[in-house]
Amino acid sequence: MSPMSTFFDRLIDRYRRIDSLLCVGLDPRTQPGEPVATRIVDANRRIIDATIDTALCYKPNIAFYEQHGPEGLQALVDTIGLIGDVPVLLDAKRGDIGSTAEAYAAAVRAVGAGAVTVSPYMGSDSVLPFVDAGLAVFVLCKTSNPGSNEFQTLAAPDLPLYRAIAAAATAWSNECGLVVGATDRDAIAAIRAAHPDVWILAPGIGAQGATMRDTVAAGVRADGAGLLPVVARGISGAADPKKAAADLVDEYRRARDERASSIAGATAATVPEDATVTRLLDAILDT
């Protein structure tokens, strides 16, 4: 990989090598106590060791580290150090502008992440400072929580607000992806139809009720990539995290291949009709 490769370049490169889109959440649910940093890192090491061959990227949620103060933040840095060259997306949901956004971006880079989640509520001013700092940005679009419909589906003016956010974010920069919860399959499908190339971060698989199969069917790109289905508790809480991750990757591959076969079948079904029309036109022209 070139040193100038973007976060999305790195995702594609790794995808081609491991044939997986699995995004592993690293959200350690430890209680305050001593030594908290060691317990966090040990818990994360267990997950990383079990998934390092199947994870396309890792997504630590900064809240699970910040709650423990300086020790927790050091545990985040140490955790990212364990991951090596696998892409890391920091789930921080930042949302400020100007020098504050620049400071947030510097903090993301300081801990070793290559991408971050960001709120677009303040417009491009809250997003582009992260892009300017060399980061990929996943903009909150249609989130996985039940309350997301309170605002994100409001008309603005001709499309739901989340669709307007998607259109704006993809116009701001090629380094913008979108957060679209796996719990809303219709929203993922709508975003994919409107934006065939964008990367979608899709939380909500497992604990929140969404399935890998439905998420892939709705959101994967034509090349089989472009989607980051997030699983955290489904792996960390499994008796065998390695097997849980491998099973999820198998589900992804089956769903991807089913979708590709379905598209190929639909395309093939139109060929006889098209060929017949061509022959009729040729016959008419020959007369």
Cα–Cα distance measured from residue 34 to residue 29, given in angstroms and rounded to the nearest whole number? 14
Cα–Cα distance for residue pair 185/202, rounded to 1 Å = 10
Domains and CATH numbers, the chain: 7-286 (3.20.20.70)
Residues identified as active-site: 93
> What kind and span of H or E run contains 142?
strand 136-142
**Is residue 167 exposed (0-12), middle (13-18) or buried (19+ Cβ within 10 Å)?**
middle
Closest listed residue to residue 141, CA positions, set 103, 113, 179: 179
Tell me what pLDDT residue 3 has: 53
Q: What is the pTM of this model?
A: 0.88
Residue-wise pLDDT for 162-195, tens only, equals: 999 999 999 999 999 999 999 999 999 999 999 9
Write the CB contacts of 235 (distance below 8 Å, at least 6 apart in sequence).
24, 25, 47, 50, 51, 241, 244, 245, 248
Residuewise pLDDT in 10s, the chain (287 residues): 555 689 999 999 999 999 999 999 999 988 766 688 999 999 999 999 999 999 999 999 999 999 999 999 999 999 999 999 999 999 999 999 999 999 999 999 999 999 999 999 999 999 999 999 999 999 999 888 878 888 778 787 788 999 999 999 999 999 999 999 999 999 999 999 999 999 999 999 988 889 999 999 999 999 999 999 999 999 999 999 999 999 999 999 999 999 888 777 665 555 454 554 345 335 434 54
The one-letter code for the residue type at 3 is P
Q: Write out pLDDT tens, residues 202-241.
A: 999 988 889 999 999 999 999 999 999 999 999 999 999 9
Can you tell me the distance from the alpha carbon of 245 to that of 263, in angstroms, rounded to the nearest whole number?
A: 27
Non-local (6+) Cβ contacts of 140 within 8 A are: 93, 117, 118, 119, 120, 165, 179
In single-letter form, the type of residue at position 281 comes to: L
pLDDT of amino acid 2: 54
DSSP 66-88: HTTHHHHHHHHHHHHHHHTTS-B
Of residues 124, 52, 40, 132, the one with CA closest to residue 88: 52
CB half-sphere exposure, 41, CA atoms < 13 A: 18
Task: Give the per-residue pLDDT at 262.
Answer: 78
Q: What is the pLDDT of residue 268?
A: 57
